[in-house]
């Protein structure tokens, strides 16, 4: 019931445009500051001060570790006076200390003053319950991440790890320190979590927030040990650390508070996930749930052991490839999982907790099947485009989705949710110069279709056109009569407008490529690129977006090239 009420409230808030999605505005500011710094528009001092202002603006933030990472990473470029203030924050009171049962963690705490922890002491042993809870959480997190999952241990043999408590306007932070052979970081945690968002911990909001914060910040400590916050992986540390909250403490679900705003896939599919922050946890969670708990330890191990600073997305691609999985297909399914959430949830597809996530926004919603290509659509870097199709109840014809693009970075997949509550998920195939999902589904049987377009280019926007159809038929028709030779034949009709059929005879199973060129020799359409069995085939091609004129179409195999002419007349 608690989950359901939370989802209902969040959905209503988003609908009214007043959702209190905690700290996403701050995340956007941090990303903008870092972007300006990397572009040379801000000095290191200016960027540091702007980031500090964001975290001290009185709003609640998830974690201020990015500020301390920046101070560490650019310590040679930041003025000493600013770093002196950073060092002052690292000097902690030694009012009292407590060591966890494992002996690995030492907690410094105060019982009076602004930074005091709650005084409750149920077992009357002289140590506040709050401190003991933190110690139990630290030992539990260590066992899960280091002992069970095999992450690199940030606590050198014979050392202990220091944590302390302060009155903060965020959950906690991890900062680098002079190690002297010990850990290179320590952790500061909010001292009471009064006024923080609710969560689902059965032991209450305060203990739940404390648990996930210990897990979150300890993952930052591991990140530092693995690559010293170098390369681009430091840009993804918040996503990674928030993922660990769910991995170690699945029942708490504090991360629900950060989903559904303008900075994440649910609220804005067209926003780039580069670089990932805490509200992008579900981007990382897909790999954990779909592939297994060993996926991210494997990816981070690649980052740790790379000679150069391996970008996180490269580590993801390498880890997928090592498991025999396709990078693009995995990303498409990841975004399709984000479509099938909230009120679109289907128990047979998607996240384990998809019902409790926001219902996703879409860039386009279709309630009629227009069956024509859109104008050019620009999709930003490393982002997705969702088309939510809710067909009329009596819609005739077969369901198909096509995209037309010249970009190799654009891809398509479709998730179909049927009226009988079954679900289908399919990747697009190259047909007739388009990318097409055409599985023979009947529109009359479909409750909803999500067309997922992905731009996996990490730097630049790409363009495409999309068509939701009830009339597209497969482009390859085969006569099983075995020809003696491989031959490209004359298209029909010719002249044509705007579609024509290209016949080709194939003497034996082989790789075949058929392309259309304009009179200058410029490639204008890829008709087919794949293998064809022996037989007589007919491939359809549509040139409705091209001007009238003479075009060349070319057949290429391993052994031959044949070219013929055709004429488009509009």
* Listed range (27-31, 40-44, 388-392, 434-438) with the worst mean pLDDT: 27-31
Cβ within 8 Å of residue 169, ≥6 positions away: 55, 56, 58, 59, 60, 61
DSSP state of 492: B
Say if residue 8's pLDDT is above 50: no
* Listed range (44-48, 113-117, 248-252, 288-292) with the worst mean pLDDT: 44-48
pLDDT for 9: 37
DSSP state of 151: P
Burial class, 481, CB count within 10 angstroms (exposed 0-12 / middle 13-18 / buried 19+):
exposed
pLDDT for 86: 54
The model's confidence at residue 11, banded by pLDDT at 50, 70 and 90, is very low
Contact status, residue 13 vs residue 257, Cβ threshold 8 Å? no
Burial class, 546, CB count within 10 angstroms (exposed 0-12 / middle 13-18 / buried 19+):
middle
Residue 472 or 376, more confident: 376
* Listed range (121-135, 503-517, 528-542) with the worst mean pLDDT: 528-542
Q: What is the mean pLDDT of the segment spanning 280-306?
A: 94
Find how far residue 542's CA is from the centre of its chain: 34
Cβ within 8 Å of residue 188, ≥6 positions away: 163, 164, 165, 166, 168, 172, 173, 174, 175
Q: d(Cα 51, Cα 173) in Å, to the nearest integer? A: 14
Contact status, residue 555 vs residue 514, Cβ threshold 8 Å? yes
Contact status, residue 74 vs residue 67, Cβ threshold 8 Å? no
Q: d(Cα 172, Cα 166) in Å, to the nearest integer? A: 9
pLDDT for 36: 86
- The residues with which 98 forms a beta bridge, in sequence order, are 107
Residue 566 or 276, more confident: 566
Contact status, residue 274 vs residue 284, Cβ threshold 8 Å? no
pLDDT for 64: 83
The model's confidence at residue 227, banded by pLDDT at 50, 70 and 90, is confident
pLDDT for 268: 92
Say if residue 5's pLDDT is above 50: no
**For the CA atoms of 135, 137, 141, 144, what is the dihedral angle to 10 degrees?**
110
Query: What radius of gyration, in Å, describes the C-alpha atoms of the chain?
Result: 28
The bridge status of strand 161-166 relative to strand 185-190 is parallel
DSSP SS3 for 296: helix
Q: d(Cα 267, Cα 359) in Å, to the nearest integer? A: 8
- The secondary element (H helix, E strand) that includes residue 243 is helix 237-248
- DSSP class per residue in 322-377: HTT--HHHHHHHHHHHHHS-GGG-BTTBS-TTGGGSPPPP-SEEESS---SPPSPE
pLDDT for 314: 94
Say if residue 223's pLDDT is above 90: yes
Structure tokens, 443: 């529109």
Number of Cβ within a 10 Å radius of residue 37 = 20
Cβ within 8 Å of residue 347, ≥6 positions away: 421
- The residues with which 99 forms a beta bridge, in sequence order, are 106
pLDDT for 435: 87
- The secondary element (H helix, E strand) that includes residue 88 is helix 80-89
Domains of the chain: 359-469 (2.60.120.380), 476-568 (2.60.40.1930)
The bridge status of strand 96-99 relative to strand 105-109 is antiparallel
DSSP SS3 for 73: helix
The model's confidence at residue 523, banded by pLDDT at 50, 70 and 90, is very high
Q: What is the mean pLDDT of the segment spanning 64-77?
A: 85
Say if residue 345's pLDDT is above 80: yes
- The residues with which 2 forms a beta bridge, in sequence order, are none
pLDDT for 22: 54
* Listed range (82-86, 156-160, 403-407, 550-554) with the worst mean pLDDT: 82-86
How much is the mean pLDDT over the chain? 87
The model's confidence at residue 440, banded by pLDDT at 50, 70 and 90, is confident
pLDDT for 128: 96
Query: Among 183, 133, 176, which Cα is nearest to 156's?
Result: 183
Percent of the chain with pLDDT over 70: 91
Cβ within 8 Å of residue 366, ≥6 positions away: 387, 388, 389, 390, 468
Per mean pLDDT, which of 83-92, 167-176, 254-263, 288-297 is the most reliable? 288-297
Q: How does pLDDT run across 85-134, given as a tens digit for each residue?
A: 555 555 555 579 999 999 999 999 999 989 999 999 999 999 999 999 99
b vs e for 144-181, b when ≥16 Cβ sit within 10 Å of the residue's Cβ? bbbeebebbbbbeeeebbbbbbbebbbbbbbbbeeeee
Residue showing tokens 């059965």: 202
Say if residue 208's pLDDT is above 60: yes
Number of Cβ within a 10 Å radius of residue 509 = 11
Q: d(Cα 263, Cα 249) in Å, to the nearest integer? A: 24
Structure tokens, 510: 């082989």
Contact status, residue 356 vs residue 253, Cβ threshold 8 Å? yes
Contact status, residue 425 vs residue 482, Cβ threshold 8 Å? no
Contact status, residue 343 vs residue 358, Cβ threshold 8 Å? no
Contact status, residue 546 vs residue 465, Cβ threshold 8 Å? no
Q: How does pLDDT run across 401-413, given as a tens digit for each residue?
A: 999 998 999 999 9
* Listed range (99-113, 279-293, 423-437, 463-477) with the worst mean pLDDT: 463-477
Cβ within 8 Å of residue 442, ≥6 positions away: 397, 398, 399
* Listed range (272-281, 390-399, 453-462, 492-501) with the worst mean pLDDT: 272-281
Find how far residue 499's CA is from the centre of its chain: 38
- The residues with which 506 forms a beta bridge, in sequence order, are 535
């Amino acid at each position: 019931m608690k989950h359901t009420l939370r989802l209902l409230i969040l959905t209503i808030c988003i609908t009214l445009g007043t959702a209190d999605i905690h700290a996403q505005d701050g995340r956007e500011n941090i990303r903008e500051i870092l972007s300006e710094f990397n572009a040379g528009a801000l000095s290191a001092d200016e960027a540091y001060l702007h980031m500090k202002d964001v975290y001290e603006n009185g709003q609640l933030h998830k974690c201020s570790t990015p500020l301390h990472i920046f101070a560490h990473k650019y310590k040679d470029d930041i003025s000493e006076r600013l770093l002196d203030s950073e060092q002052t924050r690292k000097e902690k009171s030694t009012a009292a200390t407590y060591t966890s049962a494992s002996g690995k963690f030492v907690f410094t705490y105060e019982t009076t003053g602004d930074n005091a922890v709650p005084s409750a002491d149920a077992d009357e042993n002289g140590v506040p319950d709050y401190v003991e809870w933190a110690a139990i959480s630290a030992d539990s997190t260590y066992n899960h991440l280091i002992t069970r999952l095999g992450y690199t241990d940030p606590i050198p043999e014979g050392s202990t790890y220091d944590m302390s408590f302060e009155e903060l306007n965020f959950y906690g932070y991890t900062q680098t320190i002079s190690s002297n052979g010990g850990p290179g970081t320590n952790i500061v945690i909010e001292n009471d979590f009064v006024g923080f968002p609710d969560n689902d911990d059965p032991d209450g909001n305060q203990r739940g927030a404390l648990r996930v914060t210990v897990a979150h910040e300890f993952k930052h400590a591991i990140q530092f040990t693995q690559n010293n916050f170098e390369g681009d992986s430091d840009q993804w540390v918040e996503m990674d650390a928030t993922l660990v909250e769910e991995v170690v403490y699945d029942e708490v679900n504090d991360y629900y508070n950060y989903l559904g705003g303008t900075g994440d896939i649910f609220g804005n599919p067209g926003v780039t996930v580069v670089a990932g922050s805490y509200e992008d946890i579900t981007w990382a969670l897909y790999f954990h749930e779909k592939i297994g708990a060993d996926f991210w330890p494997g990816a981070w191990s690649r980052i740790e052991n790379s000679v150069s600073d391996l970008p996180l997305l490269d580590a993801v691609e390498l880890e997928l490839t090592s498991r025999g999985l396709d990078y693009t297909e995995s990303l498409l399914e990841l975004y399709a999982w984000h479509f099938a959430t909230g009120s679109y949830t289907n128990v047979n597809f998607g996240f384990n907790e998809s019902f409790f996530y926001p219902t996703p926004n879409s860039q386009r919603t279709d309630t009629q099947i227009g069956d024509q290509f859109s104008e050019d659509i620009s999709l930003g870097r490393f982002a997705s485009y969702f088309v939510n199709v809710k067909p009329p109840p009596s819609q005739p014809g077969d369901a198909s989705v096509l995209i037309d693009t010249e970009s190799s970075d654009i891809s398509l997949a479709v998730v179909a949710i049927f009226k009988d509550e079954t679900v289908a998920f399919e990747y697009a195939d190259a047909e007739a110069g388009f990318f097409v999902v055409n599985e023979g589904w009947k529109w009359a049987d479909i409750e909803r279709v999500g067309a997922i377009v992905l731009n996996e280019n990490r730097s630049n926007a790409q363009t495409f056109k999309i068509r939701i159809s009830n009339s597209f038929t497969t482009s390859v028709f085969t006569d099983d009569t075995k020809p003696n030779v491989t031959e490209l034949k004359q298209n029909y009709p010719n002249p044509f407008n705007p579609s024509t059929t290209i016949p080709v005879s194939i003497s034996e199973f082989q790789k075949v490529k058929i392309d259309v060129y304009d009179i200058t020799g410029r490639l204008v359409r890829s008709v087919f690129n794949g293998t064809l069995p022996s037989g007589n085939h007919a491939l359809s091609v549509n040139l409705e977006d091209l001007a009238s004129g003479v075009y060349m179409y070319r057949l290429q195999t391993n052994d031959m090239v044949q070219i013929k002419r055709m004429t488009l007349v509009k």
